[in-house]
Amino acid sequence: MESFFTRLKNPLVLIAIVLVQVIALAMQVQRPARDADGPAGGAAMESEGSAPDGQEVSLLRRWTVTAIAPLEAGVQISSSKVRGLWHDYVDLRQARQQNMALRNEVARLREEEASLAEDAAQGRRLQRLLAFREQYALTNVAAQVIGTSGSERSHVLYLDKGSADGLKPDQPVVTPDGVVGKIRDVFPHTSQLLLINDPSSGAGVILAVTRIRAIVRGTATGQVQIDDLTADSRIKVGEPVITSGGDLVFPRGLPVGTIQSIAPDPLHQPYTAITIKPAADLNRLEEVLVITASSATLPPAAAQDAATAEATAEASQRAADLVARKLPGLQPSAAAAEAAGNGAAGTAAETKGASRGSGAGTTPAAPDDPESQIGGLPGVANSGLPKPRAALHTDRFSPGATLPATEMTPGGQPESPGRAQGQATPGHQPDQQPQQP
């Protein structure tokens, strides 16, 4: 037995090492940490890799990042200092060699020009960041990218801001060009940014022209794709894609990118693979904005839109009131018109509900009103079937317009519509008049 273990010591050790890691992998995959009050919409579209780690795993990752991040930040700072030292040294040499007038002067001016160009470029980037902040009125934190995951399979970047700066997991990260990703994990002075082209990433979007909602995901090859739409001739290459806000992570209306190509997805028929060209250059990110909170005050453009919508809603309300006063026969539908008027300023879902109400022509019955139900348990709401509503224009097909079968005589003439209309039926309210042309 001893010789067996001695002989197979090496493979047994390897098997033990691999086995331990496989078990550790299984435990990590089985128990992903889910933030209990996290965004439900976002959770539905994200996979394992975008979720924060469990407590033990998070501790390990914190140690790793704590070991590497200061080195990265140190290299970043020292490299900029070395660059400054180099420039100063060159300047000093030029100061000492002023007798080599023109050639050195030209060289120095060229260097200055390059330096100024760099400063100007940085200034422009910061100016755009500032303009973006003003435009969207969002509370945000500017952060600098200090490193990557170092793996082509993991599209993760490290930022120089962490929980000490108010960053939290699932906060969206953007640039003035567009959406970049979201914060995955936060450490005291560093945070992990999950890019939108990572396979575990996802975001709710709207195609800006066709107003089709979809979900963008990253692919294994680092592309950004929509793969939950079937073929649609209205969707064209070049159409802008913006965030929908439905994932409860990214604010609505931020640019995501433009459609680069549309092709059938051979693995998931009948869906199409719509490749998005990200608006932000995900490969060359330097400064980013982490949106920490939405501001309570709207930006001027949005405030103007809201005022216009409110004025439209008021006008609709006045028109509905006027119609209700002049045409009392339409009074039951006035409430629906009112609802439709309010819906103009409200959300799309609210508008949809209001139009359904006005289409019926009556005030919708309360769902738990026992008088509006047939059968069911006494005192138990919604346990029976809904009663059919009275029709505005009754005919022989309307509920209650036809005589019961017991009162019909074989060969008898059918009742005239006028009589049917005048007859009080269980589903017909006597005070309701047919609409006059």
Q: What is the binding site for another protein (CB under 8 A)?
A: 9-10, 13-14, 17-18, 21-22, 24-26, 28-29, 48-50, 57, 60-61, 63-65, 67-68, 71-72, 75, 145-154, 156-158, 184-185, 192, 194, 198-200, 219-221, 283-284
Coil, strand or helix at 7: helix
Residues contacting residue 402 through CB under 8 Å, at least 6 positions apart? 396, 415, 420
Amino acid letter, 76:
Q
Q: Per this entry, what is the length of the chain? A: 437
Q: In terms of CB distance, is 63 or 89 closer to another protein?
A: 63
Q: Are 297 and 282 in contact (CB under 8 A)?
A: no
Residue 177 in tokens: 């060009």
DSSP code of residue 172: E
Spatial distance between the Cα atoms of 155 and 223, rounded to a whole number of angstroms = 11
Tracing tokens 């216009």 back to the chain, one arrives at: 308
Please, what is the minimum distance in Å from the beta carbon of residue 171 to another protein?
A: 16
Please, what is the minimum distance in Å from the beta carbon of residue 76 to another protein?
A: 8
Q: In terms of CB distance, is 12 or 311 closer to another protein?
A: 12
Q: What distance lies between CA 53 and its chain's CA centroid?
A: 22
Q: Sign of dihedral through CA atoms 9, 14, 17, 23?
A: negative
Please, what is the minimum distance in Å from the beta carbon of residue 149 to another protein?
A: 4
Q: How far is CA 245 from CA 223, 242, 254, in A?
A: 21, 9, 9
Q: Are 425 and 401 in contact (CB under 8 A)?
A: yes
Q: Omega into 364 within 30° of 0, i.e. cis?
A: no
Please, what is the minimum distance in Å from the beta carbon of residue 70 to another protein?
A: 11
Torsion angles phi and psi, residue 102, rounded to 5:
-65, -50
Please, what is the minimum distance in Å from the beta carbon of residue 288 to another protein?
A: 13
Q: In terms of CB distance, is 151 or 347 closer to another protein?
A: 151
Q: In terms of CB distance, is 194 or 242 closer to another protein?
A: 194
Q: In terms of CB distance, is 28 or 363 closer to another protein?
A: 28
Please, what is the minimum distance in Å from the beta carbon of residue 219 to another protein?
A: 7
Residue 191: which of 211, 164, 220, 213 has the closest Cα?
164
Spatial distance between the Cα atoms of 157 and 197, rounded to a whole number of angstroms = 12
Task: Give exposure, 352-385, as e/b (b: 16+ Cβ within 10 Å).
Answer: eebeebbeebbeeeeeeeeeebeeeeeeeeeeee
Please, what is the minimum distance in Å from the beta carbon of residue 216 to another protein?
A: 14
Q: In terms of CB distance, is 48 or 395 closer to another protein?
A: 48
Q: In terms of CB distance, is 19 or 126 closer to another protein?
A: 19
Residue 344 in tokens: 């103009």
Please, what is the minimum distance in Å from the beta carbon of residue 370 to another protein?
A: 51
Please, what is the minimum distance in Å from the beta carbon of residue 362 to another protein?
A: 51
Residue 64: which of 143, 145, 150 has the closest Cα?
150
Q: In terms of CB distance, is 153 or 213 closer to another protein?
A: 153
Please, what is the minimum distance in Å from the beta carbon of residue 24 to another protein?
A: 5
Q: In terms of CB distance, is 82 or 109 closer to another protein?
A: 82
Q: In terms of CB distance, is 23 or 106 closer to another protein?
A: 23
